[in-house]
Amino acid sequence: MSTPLAAKRARLIDNARDKLGVLLRAKPGEIIFTGGATESCNLGVLGLARSSSSRGGHIISNKAEHHAVLHPLEHLEQHEGFEVTWLNVSESGIVDLDQLADSIRPVTRLVSIMTANNETGVIQPMREISQICRDRGVLLHSDMVQAFGKTDVDVSLVDVAKFCCAQVLWAKGYRLLCLRAGLPIQPIMFGGAHENQRRPGTENVAGIAGMAAAAEWILRDRETEQERRAQLRESIVERHRTRFS
């Protein structure tokens, strides 16, 4: 039986889900709250790869991905009968789009490409990557953590995306996965019917509400922050130029 406290918790979670849906231009039901960034990546990669009734299949990615994507892919490759094609990247870190198009097969289950690299800052041409996948009917997963708040992100380009709306502003430990409506995903953990039976576990209400509030703050001040970062970069470049001239 629902208690007043449980009802209040549910309202706070629903409000955060609605708020994040507006900010990400996604439907509230497409948002899955998880316990962390690594879990989100694991759920996105493993959950989609395993969603078919048949075992094994083909996946496409590249070695510049975060370990939270690389290691699940390597597990599928080594233990679950999947074959992974690792795309080449250019000197500037961009994946080879021609190789991507040529690598897709009838048995390809998933393409996973990080939008913005967490170490190099390289931003992939997600619109072109999305078009290649759409034309060939292949699901596209993207880690969009580093892109959020720094550049425009369009979740309509992908089938599943991982977000951390509070990488700096909020305590670590709560993240979300945005899964296109109607797309089946196989849970990677069991023990409850939370998150529409896609991710079990009692929700961290404070973490979820804080993440939604931080996302609002990040997007509201994005232009100011981008200008500040640009000025900082120019200052660093000028200091180095003066020092070594």
pLDDT digits (tens, 9 = 90+) for 68-91: 999 999 999 999 999 999 999 999
Give 168-189 pLDDT, tens digit per residue: 444 455 688 999 999 999 999 9
Selection from 67-81, 147-161, 211-225 with the highest mean pLDDT: 67-81
- The arithmetic mean of pLDDT across residues 150-161, rounded, is 87
pLDDT at 55 over 90: no
Kindly provide the b/e burial profile for residues 162-186, where b requires at least 16 CB atoms within 10 angstroms of the residue's own CB.
Answer: bbbbbbeebeeebbbbbbbeeeebe
Q: What is the value of pTM for the model shown?
A: 0.84
The yes-or-no verdict on residue 39 having pLDDT over 70 is yes
Please state, in angstroms and rounded to a whole number, the distance separating the CA atoms of residues 32 and 162: 10
pLDDT at 172: 58
The percent of residues in the chain predicted with pLDDT above 70, rounded, is 88
Cα(101)–Cα(25) distance, rounded to whole angstroms? 28
